[in-house]
Amino acid sequence: MYENQTREQTTAVLAAVDLGEYDVDISLAELAELAATMGIQSAAELVQKRDSLERATAIGAGKLAELALCVQNTGADLVIFDCELTAVQLRNIEEACGVPVLDRTMLILEIFASRARSREGKLQVELARNRYLLPRLTGVGTALSRLGGGGGGAGAGARRGKGETKLELDRRHLRRRITALEQQLRELAARRDQMRRRRQKDEIPTVAIVGYTNVGKSTLLNALTGAGVLAEDKLFATLDPSARALTLPDGRKVLLVDTVGLVRRLPHHLVEAFHSTLEEAAYADLILNVCDISSPEVADQIQVTLDLLKELQVEDTPVLTVLNKCDKLESLPQTVGKHTVLISAATGQGLSELLQKIADLLPATSRRLRMLIPYHQGGLVAEIREEGKIFSEEYEEQGIRLDALVSVKLLHKVRPYVLS
C-alpha cells in the first residue's frame, strides 16, 4: 500500500483533513516544501475528507489506524499535519503512531526559529512559539501527570498535587516570559518608530517589498541594491527584514525594505507576532507585490499578499505588482496592467523599467532641474545642496549653471531660474 523509503534523511508522513475550505492538494504540496526546508522528506501523504475535525484525533479512529500503518510501512520518523492540532489530538496521534507529531504551525515556527538572526527576529519567534505552546501544556508524562504514579492514599494525593503544581508553574513561567517578550518588542517597535519619523522628516521615501515566500524578494533586493542578503530556493530562506538605499533614475534616493515572506493560511498569531516587521509595509510610500509568474498559483500568491495588506489596513498606499521569474516563461504576456511590470531578478531583465515605474508612482518629493542661478542668489545654491543633490555645477558669466535634484519645498524659489 505504501512504498518503503530510504532512511538517508528524516522522513515524514504528511496528513491533511479536507474540510472543503481550500484546495487540499495545493496546501499539501506547500506543506511538503515547508518540510523540505527543514530537511524532511515526504514519505507518503494521507487525506481524510470530513465535515469537521474529530475532537480526539482530528481524522477519526479508522483513519488514525491507517495513518499508524502508513508510518510503520514507510518507516517514517514523524507525522506532520496540515492543520492546527490541540494538545489532546497531538497526544492521541503520537500514542497511536509511535512517532513525534507536528502540525503546520509548529513546522512554520521551527523554520522561523532556524532562520531568525537579528535580536528582534529571535524575540518575535520566541513570542509566537510561547503563545502557541501555552494552551497546549498538558499533563503528558510523569513530570506533569495529574495522576502521578496512581493508587490511593496520601502519597498518591501528594504526587497529584506536585503534578498539578508543575503544570501551573510552567504556565506561569510562560505567561511571564510572554509579557517580558511583548515589552521588549514594544521597546524595539518604539525605536523603529523614531527611525521612521526621522526618515519622514528627512523626506526619504520608503518602498516595501512584500509577497509570497520564495518568489525572489531577496534576489530582487540584491539585484537592485547589491545588498548581498541570503537568497535560496527555500521557503522562508530569510526571515529578518533588510533595508538598503536605492537610487532611482531621476536621482532620488529611497529606502528599499524587504519583509518576511508569506504563505497560505499563515496562522493569525504568527501575523501578530511579526506585525512590527510587516508594518513597514503599512508605513511605506509604495509597495512592491512580488509574485512568481512561472508558478501556476500566481493568482493565489497575489491574493495572499492583498489579504495581508487589508489586515494591516493599508488601503491608500499605491501597490506595484512585480511579476518575477519571467525568464522561465516560453513566451511573455502581450500586455500587463498599468501598475504591473515583468522582470527577472536573476537575469536583470526588466529592472530598468521597474525602477522607472517606482519613480513614477512615488509621491514627488523632489524634481531634477537645470537652472541658471544668479551670483547674488548664491545662498539658494547652498539650500539646493542641503535639501537635494547637485549633479553638475558650472560657473558662467551670467551665474551658476546647475543640474540638480531640487526639493519640492524650494520649487517656488528656483522657478524663475529654471532653464527651458
DSSP state of 225: H
d(CA 33, CA 28): 9
The architecture in CATH of the region 204-361 reads: 3-Layer(aba) Sandwich (3.40)
Backbone angles phi and psi of 300, in degrees to 5: -65, -40
* CA geometry: angle 156, 162, 168, nearest 5 deg: 140
| H or E segment and range at residue 382 | helix 378-387
Contact residues for 209 (Cβ-Cβ < 8 A; gap 6+) = 217, 220, 221, 256, 257, 258, 259, 288, 290
Helices (H), 99-212: 104-115, 119-133, 153-201
d(CA 305, CA 274): 15
**Kind of pairing between the strands at 11-18 and 41-49:** parallel
Cell 522528506 maps to which residue?
41
DSSP state of 344: B
| CATH superfamily for domain 11-111 | GTPase HflX, N-terminal domain (3.40.50.11060)
Per-residue pLDDT of the chain (420 residues; tens, 9 = 90+): 333 344 467 899 999 999 988 888 888 988 998 898 888 999 999 999 999 999 999 998 999 999 999 999 999 999 999 988 888 899 899 999 999 999 988 888 888 777 777 777 788 888 888 888 888 776 343 333 333 344 444 444 444 555 556 778 888 888 999 899 889 888 887 777 776 676 665 567 888 888 877 778 888 888 888 765 555 555 555 555 677 888 888 888 888 888 767 766 666 666 665 665 666 666 788 889 888 898 887 887 788 778 777 776 776 778 899 999 998 888 877 667 788 999 998 899 999 999 999 988 887 777 788 999 999 998 999 988 888 888 899 999 999 999 988 887 888 888 889 986
The architecture in CATH of the region 366-417 reads: 2-Layer Sandwich (3.30)
d(CA 159, CA 149): 7
- What is the spatial order of strands in the sheet that 41-49 belongs to? 41-49, 11-18, 78-81, 101-103
Nearest to 212 by CA among 81, 39, 28, 34: 34
- CA-based Rg of the chain, rounded to a whole angstrom? 28
Q: Distances in Å between the alpha carbon of 163 and those of 144, 151, 167, 401?
A: 5, 15, 6, 83
| Cα end-to-end distance, the chain, whole Å | 79
d(CA 317, CA 208): 11
Cell 551665474 maps to which residue?
399
- What is the spatial order of strands in the sheet that 366-373 belongs to? 366-373, 400-407, 389-395
Cell of 270: 504568527
Nearest to 260 by CA among 224, 225, 298, 312: 312
